[in-house]
Each structure stands twice: as structure tokens, then as C-alpha cells.
């Protein structure tokens, strides 16, 4: 299906890139960029990882609103597309045995978006140095998390490497976009991925941010409904670190007056 022509909402941005501050407190579990306002700031590419897309697909209404808001900037890395297709390819009779009923339904919906090019697929450049660096960062974050939980951790873990392939490639693609002079963000609920992206100059946004962006764009969305949706969408997968989960519905309250928001618009300049 042909994509609609770009509208002002999805036209590629100009100006400086969204580079985060160089350091974060060591206690942070999710890299929140203070330079990003609640209202969506347009970028050249918004790289979504698998978990974030599953949470949105769990409530198709919000997936469609997200795709409309972000338009042709939405993209996934090759590894993310492969992860989604792998789940969608599991025969439906076998999904209950693999606990993939809900995830499979989400994957089925997302595959249609990949097939009709609503979600673009981008392949990272062959930057072995950056690949190794990001993989090492994600492994170290895994090790630290296992230590906090009191669990045994081994750096030689094939399943762990596969689990992070989507996040790794997403960060690499975002870095490629930035290197080429564009702007990019990582869309992920994974705290470790956000921290690794931050170290590479890539800011991250999560489901809470996306729902708040939708509230800024759609005045008819009730903040209580958005909180309920967030809770339901992250009940089975894509759970956020506690420090960035919404405490109440005020996280989705749009503060604009007559279409203008002094808080958001001031920080966008």
C-alpha cells in the first residue's frame, strides 16, 4: 500500500540534533533526556524496539494514533522486524504451549504494518566497533541488574545476546542517522537500552512519553483513560522501570491553553 504524502506533522526536521547530556546519575534505571518536552519533537527517524511496539499493538487504537502522529519517521531495525516476524510465524495452535497467544496477536498486527511499509525497516551500517561497544554496555547493564536481584550471571549466554539484538541494532541505526546529519530517538521501554543509547548520543522515549504526546495532540483523550491503557498495555510485557512509570493520571495531562503550552514550547526552542 502506498504511503500518503508527507504532511507538516511528519516533515523531516531541520536544526541541531537532540544530543543528551554527557552523564547521568549512577542510580538512574532509565535515561530521561531533560531537553525533550512532553509534546512530541519531530525527528528524522524514531527507532522503535520490539517491546515498545508490542505494548502499543496490545491496544490497536493507540498503535494507530501513534503511527498517525509519528508518520513516516517510524522505523525498526532489521533485527526488530525479524523478532516480530518470528513470533508471527509460530502457528496459532502452538502459541498457547509457548505462552505466545497475546504476543502472537500483537506480532500479527505489526507484521501487517511492516508488509504495507507503514513501519519502515532499516539496516544498520557495518560498524563493528560501535556494535561491540553497545553489546558490551548492554551486557554490563544485564550483569548489574542480575547482581541487584542476587542472581547468577554469565557473560556467555546465547539467549541474552539474542534478546538484545533488537535494541543493539536500533541504537546503531539511530547513531547512523545522527552521523548522516539527521535527528533520531530510540523508542523503548527497556531501561538498559535507554542508558546504552544515551552513551551514544541518542535520546530515548517510552510508552508513558508516547501516550503523553498523544494527549498533547488529541484534546479528547482523557488522562484517566490513558493511565488505564498504560497499565493494561504493560501488564504482560514492556514493563518500565519504576522511576519512570506514571504515579497517577496527571502524567498524561496536557497543559496547553488555546493550542499553546508555555512549558513545552519554551523547551522546544
If pLDDT is split at 50, 70 and 90, which confidence band does 213 have? very high
CA pseudo-torsion sign 240, 241, 246, 251 = negative
Residue in this structure with the C-alpha cell 526552542, named with its chain if needed: 269
Higher-confidence position of 88 and 24: 88
pLDDT on residue 7? 43
Which H helix or E strand runs over 213?
helix 207-217
**Among 3-12, 53-62, 140-149, 260-269, where is mean pLDDT lowest?**
3-12
pLDDT on residue 39? 87
- Per-residue pLDDT of 48-105, as tens digits, reads 999 999 999 999 999 999 999 999 999 999 999 999 999 999 999 999 999 999 999 9
Percent of the chain with pLDDT over 70: 77
Whether residue 227 is predicted with pLDDT greater than 70 in this model: the reply is yes
Residue 71 backbone class (left: φ over 0; alpha: ψ -120 to 50; beta: rest): left
Contact 66, 110 (CB under 8 A): no
If pLDDT is split at 50, 70 and 90, which confidence band does 23 have? confident
pLDDT on residue 258? 63
Q: Structure pTM?
A: 0.84
The whole-angstrom separation of Cα 21 and Cα 118 is 32
Partners of residue 45 on adjacent β-strands = 184
Contact 131, 172 (CB under 8 A): yes
- Per-residue pLDDT of 143-169, as tens digits, reads 666 566 666 656 555 454 456 788 989
To 10 degrees, what angle do helices 223-233 and 207-217 make?
A: 150
pLDDT on residue 12? 41
User: Phi/psi at 242 (nearest 5 deg)?
Assistant: -55, -40
If pLDDT is split at 50, 70 and 90, which confidence band does 8 have? very low
Spell out the residues 6+ positions from residue 10 whose beta carbon is closer than 8 angstroms to its own: 42, 70, 71, 72, 73
Work out the burial of residue 115: count CB atoms within 10 Å of its CB; fewer than 13 is exposed, 13-18 middle, 19 or more buried.
exposed
- Per-residue pLDDT of 165-183, as tens digits, reads 889 899 999 999 999 999 9
Spell out the residues 6+ positions from residue 246 whose beta carbon is closer than 8 angstroms to its own: 208, 227, 230, 252
pLDDT on residue 121? 98
Q: Count of alpha carbons within 13 Å of 191, Cβ hemisphere only?
A: 18
User: Phi/psi at 120 (nearest 5 deg)?
Assistant: -80, 150
The whole-angstrom separation of Cα 221 and Cα 212 is 10
Partners of residue 257 on adjacent β-strands = 260
Percent of the chain with pLDDT over 90: 60
If pLDDT is split at 50, 70 and 90, which confidence band does 197 have? very high
The whole-angstrom separation of Cα 57 and Cα 80 is 14
The whole-angstrom separation of Cα 166 and Cα 156 is 18
Amino acid at each position: 500500500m502506498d504511503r500518503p504524502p508527507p504532511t507538516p506533522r511528519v516533515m523531516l526536521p531541520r536544526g541541531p540534533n537532540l544530543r543528551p547530556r554527557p552523564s547521568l546519575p549512577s542510580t538512574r534505571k532509565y535515561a530521561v533526556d531533560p531537553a525533550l518536552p512532553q509534546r512530541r519533537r519531530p525527528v528524522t527517524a524514531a527507532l522503535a524496539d520490539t517491546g515498545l511496539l508490542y505494548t502499543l499493538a496490545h491496544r490497536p487504537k493507540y498503535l494507530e494514533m501513534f503511527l498517525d502522529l509519528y508518520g513516516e519517521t517510524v522505523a525498526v531495525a532489521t533485527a526488530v522486524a525479524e523478532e516480530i516476524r518470528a513470533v508471527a510465524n509460530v502457528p496459532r495452535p502452538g502459541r498457547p504451549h509457548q505462552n505466545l497467544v497475546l504476543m502472537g496477536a500483537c506480532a500479527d498486527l505489526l507484521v501487517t504494518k511492516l508488509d504495507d511499509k507503514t513501519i519502515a525497516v532499516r539496516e544498520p551500517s557495518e560498524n563493528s566497533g560501535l556494535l561491540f561497544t553497545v553489546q558490551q554496555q548492554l551486557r554490563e547493564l544485564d550483569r548489574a541488574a542480575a547482581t541487584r536481584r542476587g542472581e547468577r550471571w554469565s557473560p556467555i549466554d546465547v539467549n541474552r545476546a539474542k534478546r538484545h539484538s533488537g535494541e543493539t541494532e536500533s541504537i546503531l541505526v539511530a547513531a547512523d542517522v545522527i552521523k548522516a546529519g539527521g535527528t533520531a530517538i530510540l523508542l523503548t521501554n527497556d531501561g538498559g537500552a535507554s542508558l546504552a543509547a544515551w552513551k551514544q548520543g541518542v535520546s530515548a522515549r517510552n510508552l508513558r512519553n508516547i501516550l503523553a504526546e498523544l494527549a498533547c495532540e488529541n484534546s479528547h483523550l482523557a488522562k484517566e483513560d490513558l493511565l488505564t491503557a498504560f497499565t493494561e498495555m504493560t501488564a504482560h510485557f514492556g514493563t518500565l522501570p519504576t522511576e519512570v512509570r506514571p504515579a497517577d493520571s496527571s502524567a498524561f495531562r496536557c497543559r496547553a491553553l488555546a493550542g499553546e503550552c508555555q512549558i513545552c514550547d519554551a523547551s522546544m526552542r
